[in-house]
Amino acid sequence: MKKLSILTGKAIQKLSRLHGGGSALPGLVIEKTDPRFLGQVLSSLPLGVAVVSGTNGKTTTTKIVTELLEKQGLRVFTNKTGSNFIRGVLSAVLEEIKPDGTFDYDIAVLELDEAHAVHFAETIPINYALILNVQRDQLDRFCELDHTAALLEKTTLAAEKAAVLNREDPLVRSLQTKNAVYYGLSKEFRKLFPSDDDLLSGEASSYDNLKAGDRLPADVVLYSLQDHHAVYHMEDREYSCDLSLDGIFNAFNAAGALALCRQILKDMTMVSTPGSPDQTPARTGAADPEALIRDLSSVRSAFGRSEEIRYKDTSVQLILVKNPAAFQLSLASFLEDDCSYMIVINDHDADGRDMSWLWNVDFSALPGVHTLSGTRAPEMALRLKYDQVPFEHIEEDLSRALDIFLPSPGHKRIFATYTAMLELRKLLTGRSLI
């Protein structure tokens, strides 16, 4: 059945490409016709499966983990397209598996949606989990934060070797697991990363209010960040790194990625290629922190996440925002002089229909916005008026909005929800080719 599923899936992929179909379609078909296929393939990996989940940062963090492990010599399978449902993982497997069933990888590092990670963990063994945060995102789907946390807890409990948890997020650090490892922030830096509770209460970090006995040791700590120069604390030492990643949130997610990589490399023994007697050298102990930090410096954000697209003689930076914490941290990371700003807010299914979270973001630091667009542009305009942030143009049609925005002076930054980001990237890439 496995070879038949491979041939069927690959045939559907070819047909799907010819007709412009979605990348997850082959996975959807195999998910229905051969539900054991994915488990059979991934169970053959010598180092098993690591899952990255949470509300914000999954795509870029998965990319960081993948590249760090590859630089350590491991063959890493991942769902590169960012399709984080099981059918997306299946489609990615079908792209890489050979017709005879050979799957030449050591470990799978997979970005999974909070809900689909549960179904994944029920059917496929997980060795490691990295949980980034729990924020108000797609509440029309997840209903409430406690429900999202309960879903993630099923994933952490399924992680056989280690679950790497964000110490600074109160819902994440309280998740039950068999073997918890934490990453965190220095006390001085913690105020820049509000949890959802902190945003609602307007108070300082909830972690600082814990009793000394309830505070948790962290394997990796983001100690400071100045421009792109980050300092991480590991093994009682500080390590400096000039990041290619943009945004303070990515610097923090990188701490989680480092902690996960350290666990995987520490546990690694002799790794053999499936179907082959060849083996890579055994490793004893965690990777050299200096090597990980050096490799981290060259990792860049995933597409659409702080991505820059050249347009004529300037660059346009796309910044994904989809909940209050993400928007607040983006504002803290990407405001500067000599810059024009655009905000695009959509409320399609993939964005979440409930946009009330915009009212929990403090926009007062914005010097002004050149253009507002998207299906919820009028509400965004009203929100800016309450924070006394001036704006010049409202145009719900995104193509016409770009016609207005692109001639604006200085560097250009666009804060956009998920579907808006995808449309912007397509429009900007097309215009750059003209």
Q: List residues bridging with 292 in a β-sheet.
A: none
Backbone angles phi, psi at 274, to 5 degrees: -55, 130
Does residue 297 carry a pLDDT above 80? yes
Give the confidence band of 100 by pLDDT, cuts at 50, 70, 90. Answer: confident
Residues 288 and 317 in one domain: no
Nearest partner of 413 among 347, 333, 358, judged by Cα: 333
pLDDT-above-70 percentage for the chain: 79
* 301 within a domain of the structure (yes/no): no
Number of H helices and number of E strands within the chain? 16, 17
Q: Assign 3-state DSSP to the chain and report helix, strand, coil percentages, each to 5.
A: 40, 20, 40
284, 391: one domain: no
130 near 167, Cβ under 8 Å? no
pLDDT confidence of residue 206? 55
Residues 292 and 152 in one domain: yes
Among 269, 296, 323, residue at a domain's last position: 296
Predicted local confidence at residue 81, as pLDDT: 62
Model confidence at 400: pLDDT above 60: yes
Mean pLDDT score of the chain: 82
Both 106 and 137 in a single domain? yes
Half-sphere CA count of 139, side-chain side, radius 13 A: 13
Please check the confidence at residue 166 and state whether its pLDDT lies above 90. yes
Q: What is the pLDDT of residues 79-89, one digit of tens each?
A: 876 565 777 78
Tell me: do 274 and 318 sit in the same domain.
no
Residue that has been written with the tokens 């397209």 in this structure: 81
pLDDT score, position 90 = 81
Q: Which residues, in sequence order, are bridge partners of residue 76?
A: 107
**Low-confidence winner among 127-136, 187-196, 255-264, 369-378 (lowest mean pLDDT):** 187-196
Q: What is the mean pLDDT of residues 151-166?
A: 93
Mean predicted confidence (pLDDT) in 254-283: 71
Q: How far apart are CA 100 and CA 115, in angstroms?
A: 32
Report the range of poorest mean pLDDT among 279-288, 308-317, 320-329, 406-415. Answer: 279-288
pLDDT at 200: 59
Q: Domain check: are 137 and 20 in the same one?
A: yes
- Is a pLDDT exceeding 50 seen at residue 317? yes
pLDDT above 90: residue 6: no
pLDDT more than 90, % of the chain: 40
> Looking at residues 300-317, what average pLDDT do you find?
75
282 has a pLDDT exceeding 60: no
Instruction: Report the CATH number at residue 418.
Output: 3.90.190.20
Q: Which of 254, 276, 296 is the last residue of a domain?
A: 296
In a domain, 261, yes or no: yes
Q: Are residues 139 and 204 in the same domain?
A: yes
Residue 302 lies in a domain: no
* DSSP states of 202-253: --S-GGGGS-GGG----SEEEEEEETTEEEEEETTEEEEEE-SS-SHHHHHH
C-alpha distances out from residue 177 to 139, 149, 353, Å: 25, 13, 32
What is the predicted pLDDT for the residue at 202? 54
Note whether 335 and 286 are same-domain residues: no
Residue 64 falls within a domain, yes or no?
Answer: yes
Q: Is the dihedral of CA 186, 188, 192, 193 positive or negative?
A: positive
- Give how many domains the chain has, as a whole number: 2
- The residue written with tokens 């948890």 in the block is 165
For residue 194, the model assigns a pLDDT of 67
Q: Which residue has the higher pLDDT, 352 or 66?
A: 66
Give the domain extent around 17.
2-296
Residue 114 pLDDT exceeds 70: yes
pLDDT at position 281 = 42
Q: For 200-251, how does the pLDDT look when each residue is reduced to its tens digit (9 = 90+)? A: 555 555 555 555 545 789 999 999 988 889 999 998 999 999 998 888 888 9
Among the listed residues 148, 221, 145, the one whose alpha carbon sits nearest the alpha carbon of residue 182: 221
Residue 193: pLDDT over 50: yes
Name which of 76-85, 111-120, 410-419 the model is least confident about.
76-85
The neighbour count for residue 81, using CB atoms within 10 Å, is 17
Q: Which helix (H) or strand (E) holds 165?
A: strand 159-166
Tell me the CA distances in angstroms from 61 to 15, 76, 112, 249, 300, one per residue in order: 32, 14, 12, 10, 10
Are 218 and 363 in a shared domain?
Answer: no
Residues 158-180 have a mean pLDDT of 93
- Burial category of 4 from C-beta neighbours within 10 Å (exposed 0-12, middle 13-18, buried 19 and up): exposed
Chosen domain end from 266, 296, 326:
296
Three-state helix/strand/coil letters over 315-381: EEEEEECCCHHHHHHHHHHHCCCCEEEEEECCCCCCCCCCCHHHHHCCCCCCCCEEEEECCCHHHHH
pLDDT tens by residue, 121-143: 888 899 999 999 887 655 444 45
Q: Is residue 236 domain-shared with residue 146, that is, in the same domain? A: yes
